[in-house]
Amino acid sequence: MPDLPSGNAVIGQSGGPTAVINQSLAGLVEGLKAGLAASGQVKRILGMRHGVRGLLKDDLVELTGISTAQLEAIARTPSAALGSTRDKPDAAYCDKILAGCLKNDIRYFFYIGGNDSADTCRIVSEKAAAAGYELRCFHVPKTIDNDLLENDHTPGFPSAARYVALALMGDALDNASLGGIKINVIMGRNAGFLTAAAALARGALSKGAAPADRAAPHLIYLPEVPFSTEAFLADVEAVYSKLGRCQIAVSEGIRDETGAEIGPKLMRGKGEVDAHGNVQLSGSGALGDGLADLVKTGLTPKGGKAPRVRADTFGYIQRCWPGPSPVDANEARDVGRFAAELAAKGETHATVIIKRVSDAPYASACARADLSAVARLSRHVPEAFIAGTNDVSDAFDAYCRPLVGDLPTLARL
């Protein structure tokens, strides 16, 4: 039996919510109930309202006595049941978090989020050690962007990828029925995994076909591949002139050869700048509309008729659609439970990671890693998943398809 401190546990959720982040909350609570709470080290299980902000404001919710039925209902509900925050704590902020832990006799700190949340765990853990206060800090992974290092993939991504694949499947047929050029702008500012998932809408693999010979989506643009408006127009024209239609998936974060984002350029200075100094890309149709204008202008023959061009910007629905991937729901539950088990085993600070154990049949397992291995760092779509300048590889398809659950089989005449 490891030497474990006695006190309370606190759980928080941070950053953009996902369809399964509450599965991780439920996994943590049931893991604590079965382990540290059952053995007496954890007296109370508390939830922070709106992430660490709740700890600073003493806005905490009692989860100790939550019924299994309510926990299951919460687990099935998308978005962050505790509320979330975009705060990115610095050292001074983390001092206040530590003060909140002392005030509430917190000895176990669990934070569900992305690489910023892992960094918060790391700083708070170091500050507690320096202060001689025994505090165990654990990060539980979550992000639809799939950009955490060490992880095969991150909870939240498979459900968002499922939404994107289903949306592109329906949209491809809509595009085929009326023709024209359809641009779909997909979330993921720095990592293109979610945009890449558009390729799952193809029933068959692309196997290096020319864009016009691919099943839709014909063109896929990731932030990892420098975007040239000239090449883009040439790509679209090649498909449209042959098929009379073209379906495109494009990441909100596409950027040119210098690394400058395309979105803000097309927004003509209209974009809102957020707390991180980034121009707001989501929750606005500006990039899609800008690309549509580009295509209309670029592909209208002299004195001729403009092609039909439509742009849909996939908004917040893609991360909170109430129909998650079953694989994702299970794994998100597992990482929560595993974090509680790490704490019970006497670990002092760690992040939980997902490892792929087998491809066919697909199987995964949880493991531990150091907080510093994921904190602040970002993963990008690897070269092996990219095909040329406007597609993903069959290797990406093989990687991603097992994660999203069964997709419907659609038919054409």
Q: Which residues bind its own copies (CB under 8 A)?
A: 13, 16-17, 19, 47, 50, 61, 70, 73-74, 76-86, 166-167, 169-171, 173-178, 182, 270, 272, 282-286, 288-289, 292, 296, 306, 309-317, 319-323, 408-413
Residue 145 or 171: the one with the smaller Cβ distance to its own copies is 171
Q: How many CB atoms lie within 10 A of CB 158?
A: 30
Q: CB of 345: closest distance to its own copies in angstroms?
A: 28
For residue 305, the 8-state DSSP code is P
Nearer to its own copies, 211 or 271 (CB): 271
Burial 382-404 (b: 16+ CB within 10 A, else e): eeebbbebbbbbeebbebbbbbb
CA distance linking residue 93 with residue 96, whole number of Å: 5
Which amino acid is it at 182?
K
Residue type, 278: N
Sign of the Cα torsion 188, 192, 194, 199 reads positive
CB neighbours of residue 211 within 10 Å: 22
Task: For its own copies, give the closer residue by CB, 272 or 370.
Answer: 272
Q: Which of 116, 119, 145, 391 is catalytic?
A: 145
145 is catalytic: yes
Sheet bearing 349-359, strands edge to edge: 60-62, 42-48, 7-13, 106-113, 136-141, 349-359, 362-369
User: Closer CB to its own copies, residue 267 or residue 344?
Assistant: 267
Shortest CB 5 distance to its own copies, Å: 27
CB 145 → its own copies: shortest distance, Å? 16
CB of 228 to its own copies, least distance (A): 24
Contact present, 295 and 309 (Cβ < 8 Å): yes
The smaller minimum CB distance to its own copies, of residues 40 and 408, is found at 408
CB of 242 to its own copies, least distance (A): 17
Active site residues: 145
